[in-house]
Structure 1
Amino acid sequence: MDKLSFHDPLFRTYAIAASIMVLKALTMSWLTVVRMMQVRGGFRSPEDIKKTILNPHPNSEQLAPNEYVDRIRRIQLNDLENLPFFLVAGFLFILTEPSIALTQWLLYGYVVSRL
């Protein structure tokens, strides 16, 4: 069970990489909202165009696709599809006790490629 403690550099590397990926996925959700508010469009459902403080002049054109918003939405969906596999594969990988250099290279390399 010592493998699953922060004293183990392999687990620490995994925990850091996994935390960064989860934070990125959460950040993309908020970035999607920010972009929708910037362009006042790109909404997905009719409930999104209700009159609120943030949307004082709603109209049906706000439901039209907006490439500026959809790009972030596609990135977010891709992250959500791949994140569970990364978390499981990374966890199983560190249980095989690879070298710390290989672990850091693979896990941090994946994280950098996704940022």
Structure 2
Amino acid sequence: MSILEILSPENEVFRAYGFWASVLVLKVLGMAVLTSMARKKKKAINNPEDRVFLKPEDQNVELTSSDPDVERVRRAHLNDLENCIPFLIISFVYVLTNPSTFIGVNLIRIGVVSRIVHSYSYLNALQPYRGYGFGITFLVMIYMSLSNILYFL
């Protein structure tokens, strides 16, 4: 199969990548919005210029970056940045190996759904589900990485 056929909308694995990668990016962007909303709600700003987003009566709030609720959302977002970007890269390279449709589509789907479970569990302090969400995506990335290495060896 040529590269143009692999990166074609007719290729089910590439279609799955396009769909689920978009879902994952929207989830990461949503975490940025949640972080901002948590900062505003808790009045936990750490830059003086951000006071503009507060109500007039809250303009004198002390700068802080130590609110535990805000920090939980921020850490969940940081974890996304640390894991979703490598997932997007390694899964794209995996698509280039032209894997079987069943395996390729399901690995991508499982990886993204696991990241969603991880974020939800992180925000709501739900262990062991947070660990499962992280671990499953991690194993998917290990499998894809090893497959890529063997393919391009």
Higher relative contact order (CA 8 A, sep 6+): 1
Task: Give 1:99 deviation, angstroms.
Answer: 1.3
Match of 2:50 in 1: 48
**d(CA) in 1 for partners of 2:109, 2:71:** 27
Task: Classify 1:102/1:17 alpha carbon distance in 2 versus 1 (closer, same or farther; 3 Å).
Answer: same
Match of 2:42 in 1: 39
Unaligned runs of 5+ in 2: 117-153
TM-score normalised per structure 1: 0.86
Match of 1:6 in 2: 9
TM-score normalised per structure 2: 0.66
Task: Give 1:62 deviation, angstroms.
Answer: 4.1
Give the share of equivalent positions with the same residue, in percent: 38
Does the CA-based 8 Å contact 1:28-1:76 persist in structure 2? yes
SS at match of 2:103: helix
Unaligned runs of 5+ in 1: none
Does the CA-based 8 Å contact 1:32-1:73 persist in structure 2? yes
Task: Classify 1:34/1:53 alpha carbon distance in 2 versus 1 (closer, same or farther; 3 Å).
Answer: closer
